[in-house]
């Protein structure tokens, strides 16, 4: 070893030891007779002292060192006169006796500090330098810990990690595949897996009973800020279980991770149905760190049979499929300008609402609304009551087509929560969302698609609806785990019966030939004793970012790609030569 200790471990108890440290020059301060250098490695920072009086030549040498030089120093551990209690090593310093420059460094293109002066593009290009910053490295250390603890939990539960192949077969269903031309099989292509779904089901058919894998998956989609062409899943599957068993098992995993990674005890993971989630939050991944549930005014009726919103001459409410709102606690004092901002927010094209109605609950309990001329005081009070609004609360109401209005209000709910600081990154709220619809209708293609994937089992009690052709009403034994409004995992009970699987393919518009060509191996496998099974997959990058309290998954990936799918550090993808193309039996087909 080139060192006896790391830069993070020396303490007051090490005083008077002679030690050798290696690391990078973080910063250097020249104080006349004494030069201080902070030496950095993965484990911490240690202060080095060069004394001009006793070691003139050495100190002269030290003064010439630049930032990020790689040093090896030997010296004596001494107690500091002015301690730094911000630093674990802050009680000591090293009186340097010998210094070796292991490597020099050019001045880095940005400062290796928490508040770096480097822009996003520059830091991506020099990712290997950005990774030197403590917070970026801490993200990857957190990721490592989440992986470790995931394995520790699942290993203990007798899950076996099995590696499934990366070079597989392209399937037309789902997102676009990345493909790999085969040199040995002319004109043919492998595909990179979007998930190991079929393989994990085959492993259940094989009797592996409990499988997991932390595995890279690939999707050739147009990238949004929070998507990567390659991403990592915690992929799990179990045999001889029902939905309840899967929920309990992975609730256990999440509790284990929170406890062992974050030191947080999660009491319980509440469950709501998809229908409830849409009704109360307008989202299938509600942020439940705060309440602010939707209240629908459309279905609250006065004793006089007229409801609280329609029949009063306010056309927008009269004609709306749904009138629904939220109560922003303590926001009755919002100014005109603030209310206009909120209206502008919901009118943005991404949200697309036409307007926003508000009602303030005054300190005296009276209600003042933007639609006063249509509703009498009594009705407005009834609204306030419906919302459980108290004096100084602000009620925000939207109206229109049900789904669209809910979606828009869901965005407004998050915006209000942001303004009220209700989305604390150090608070964690987990939620199971259950009973997703099995199928969703695609207007463009005029057919139903599987909401999860074609292997998801309908709820047994809804199979009748399937046979009756009421496809939109069929619920699936499918579940998502949501943390702080982020979908971190999802899964389902699978179909293990070949007739039901064939029926599903038929509903999804697969001819039996196409179904056989694409999934024949799975359909065949189901002929030989498939056990009842169910599973789940967690987005590992996403899970880590939630644990880290950061919105972007990119910060939790060592070498991420940009929005054009490029790795700007290594400059990939790149061109390949004609010989390679010929060997692969392909030619370029460039459209100018």
Put residue 421 in one of left, alpha, beta given phi > 0 → left and psi -120 to 50 → alpha. left
Shortest Å, Cβ 208 to a second copy: 6
Stretch touching a second copy by CB under 8 A, among 203-211, 294-302, 305-313, 451-459 = 203-211
Site for a second copy in 454-473 (CB under 8 A): none
- Residue 104 within binding range of a second copy, rule CB under 8 A: yes
Q: How far apart are CA 462 and CA 503, in angstroms?
A: 14
- Residue 174 within binding range of a second copy, rule CB under 8 A: no
Q: Residue holding tokens 């939620």? A: 431
Site for a second copy in 378-437 (CB under 8 A): none
Stretch touching a second copy by CB under 8 A, among 288-296, 369-377, 381-389, 529-537 = 529-537
How many chain residues interact with a second copy (CB under 8 A)? 125
The interface mask with a second copy, positions 122-151, x = CB under 8 A, is ----xxxx-xx----x--xx--x--xx--x
- Residue 87 within binding range of a second copy, rule CB under 8 A: no
The interface mask with a second copy, positions 214-233, x = CB under 8 A, is --x-x-x-x------xx-x-
- Residue 588 within binding range of a second copy, rule CB under 8 A: yes
Q: Residue holding tokens 């609806």? A: 465
Q: Which two tokens stand for residue 400?
A: 């229109």
Q: What is the CA radius of gyration of the chain?
A: 30
- Residue 168 within binding range of a second copy, rule CB under 8 A: yes
Q: Which two tokens stand for residue 192?
A: 């990179």
352: phi then psi, degrees, rounded to nearest 5? 80, 20
Tell me the three state secondary structure of residue 79: strand
Nearer to a second copy, 180 or 351 (CB): 180
- Residue 34 within binding range of a second copy, rule CB under 8 A: no
Shortest Å, Cβ 178 to a second copy: 5
Quick one: which of 437, 462, 432 has its CA closest to 451?
437
119: phi then psi, degrees, rounded to nearest 5? -75, 170
Among 24, 375, 432, 455, binds a second copy (CB under 8 A): 24
Q: How far apart are CA 551 and CA 533, in angstroms?
A: 33
Tell me the three state secondary structure of residue 315: helix
Shortest Å, Cβ 341 to a second copy: 36
Among 121, 161, 344, 440, binds a second copy (CB under 8 A): 161
Quick one: which of 559, 539, 542 has its CA closest to 551?
542
CB-based burial of residue 442 (10 Å sphere; 0-12 exposed, 13-18 middle, 19+ buried)?
exposed
Nearer to a second copy, 72 or 310 (CB): 72
Q: How far apart are CA 131 and CA 529, in angstroms?
A: 50
Among 88, 174, 181, 509, binds a second copy (CB under 8 A): 181
Q: Are 399 and 357 in contact (CB under 8 A)?
A: yes
Q: Residue holding tokens 């709306």? A: 320
Nearer to a second copy, 5 or 296 (CB): 5
Find all residues with CB under 8 Å of 306, minimum gap 6, and list them.
none
Site for a second copy in 321-350 (CB under 8 A): none
Nearer to a second copy, 205 or 389 (CB): 205
Among 76, 87, 179, 266, binds a second copy (CB under 8 A): 179
Nearer to a second copy, 109 or 330 (CB): 109
Helix H or strand E encompassing 350: none
Site for a second copy in 54-73 (CB under 8 A): 68-70, 72
- Residue 501 within binding range of a second copy, rule CB under 8 A: no
Stretch touching a second copy by CB under 8 A, among 241-249, 290-298, 313-321, 454-462 = 241-249
- Residue 500 within binding range of a second copy, rule CB under 8 A: no
Shortest Å, Cβ 564 to a second copy: 5
Q: How far apart are CA 127 and CA 177, in angstroms?
A: 27
Nearer to a second copy, 4 or 18 (CB): 4
Q: Which two tokens stand for residue 56?
A: 């003139």
Question: Any alpha helices (H) in 286-335, and if so which ranges?
Answer: 315-319
CA angle 559, 480, 143 (to 5 degrees): 30
Q: How far apart are CA 561 and CA 549, in angstroms?
A: 21
Shortest Å, Cβ 71 to a second copy: 9
Site for a second copy in 546-575 (CB under 8 A): 557-559, 561, 564-567, 569-575
- Residue 175 within binding range of a second copy, rule CB under 8 A: no
């Amino acid at each position: 070893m080139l060192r006896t200790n790391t830069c993070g471990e020396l303490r007051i108890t090490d005083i008077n030891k002679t030690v050798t440290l290696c690391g990078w020059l973080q910063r250097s301060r020249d104080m006349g007779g004494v030069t201080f250098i902070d030496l950095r490695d993965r484990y911490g920072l240690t202060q080095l002292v060069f004394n001009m009086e006793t070691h003139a030549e050495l100190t002269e040498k030290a003064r010439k060192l630049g930032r990020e030089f790689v040093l090896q120093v030997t010296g004596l551990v001494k107690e500091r006169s002015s301690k730094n209690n911000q630093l674990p090593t802050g009680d000591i310093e090293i009186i340097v006796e010998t210094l070796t420059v292991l490597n020099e460094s050019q001045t880095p293109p940005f400062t290796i500090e928490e508040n770096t002066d480097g822009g996003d593009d520059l830091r991506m290009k020099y990712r290997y330098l950005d990774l030197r910053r403590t917070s970026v490295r801490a993200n990857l250390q957190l990721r490592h810990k989440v992986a470790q603890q995931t394995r520790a939990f699942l290993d203990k539960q007798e899950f076996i990690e099995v590696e499934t192949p990366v070079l597989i077969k392209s399937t037309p269903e789902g997102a676009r595949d990345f493909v790999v031309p085969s040199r040995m099989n002319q004109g043919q292509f492998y595909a990179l897996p979007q998930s190991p779904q079929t393989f994990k089901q085959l492993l259940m058919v094989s009797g592996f009973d409990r499988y997991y894998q932390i595995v890279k998956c690939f999707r050739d989609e147009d990238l949004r800020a929070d998507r990567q062409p390659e991403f990592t899943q915690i992929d799990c599957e179990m045999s001889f279980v029902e939905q309840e068993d899967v929920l309990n098992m992975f609730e256990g995993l999440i509790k284990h991770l929170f406890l062992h990674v974050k030191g947080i005890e999660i009491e319980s993971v509440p469950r709501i149905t998809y229908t409830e989630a849409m009704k109360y939050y307008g989202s299938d991944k509600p942020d439940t760190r705060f309440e602010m549930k939707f209240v629908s005014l459309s279905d609250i009726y006065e004793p006089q049979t007229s409801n609280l919103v329609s029949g009063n001459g306010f056309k927008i409410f009269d004609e709306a499929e749904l009138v629904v709102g939220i109560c922003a606690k303590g926001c009755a004092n919002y100014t005109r300008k603030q209310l206009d901002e909120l209206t502008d927010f919901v009118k943005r094209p991404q949200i697309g609402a036409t307007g926003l109605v508000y009602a303030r609950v005054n300190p005296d309990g009276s209600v003042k609304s933007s639609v006063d001329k249509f509703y009498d005081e009594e009705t407005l009070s009834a609204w306030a009551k419906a919302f459980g609004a108290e004096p100084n609360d602000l009620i925000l109401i939207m109206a229109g087509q049900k789904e669209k209005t809910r979606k828009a209000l869901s965005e407004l709910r998050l915006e209000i929560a942001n303004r009220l600081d209700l989305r604390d990154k150090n608070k964690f709220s987990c939620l199971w969302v259950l009973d997703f619809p099995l199928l969703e209708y695609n207007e463009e293609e005029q057919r139903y698609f599987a909401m999860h994937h074609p292997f998801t089992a309908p709820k047994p009690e809804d199979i009748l609806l399937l046979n009756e052709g009421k496809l939109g009403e069929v619920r699936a034994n499918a579940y998502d785990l949501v943390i702080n409004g982020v979908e971190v995992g999802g899964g389902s009970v699978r179909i293990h019966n070949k007739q039901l699987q064939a029926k599903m393919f038929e509903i999804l518009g697969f001819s039996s030939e196409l179904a056989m060509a694409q999934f024949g191996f799975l359909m065949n496998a189901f002929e030989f004793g498939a056990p009842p099974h169910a599973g789940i997959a967690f987005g590992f990058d996403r899970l880590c970012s939630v644990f880290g309290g950061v919105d972007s998954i990119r910060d939790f990936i060592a070498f991420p790609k940009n929005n054009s799918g490029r790795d700007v550090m290594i400059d990939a993808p790149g061109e390949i030569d004609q010989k390679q193309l010929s060997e692969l039996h392909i030619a370029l087909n460039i459209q100018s």
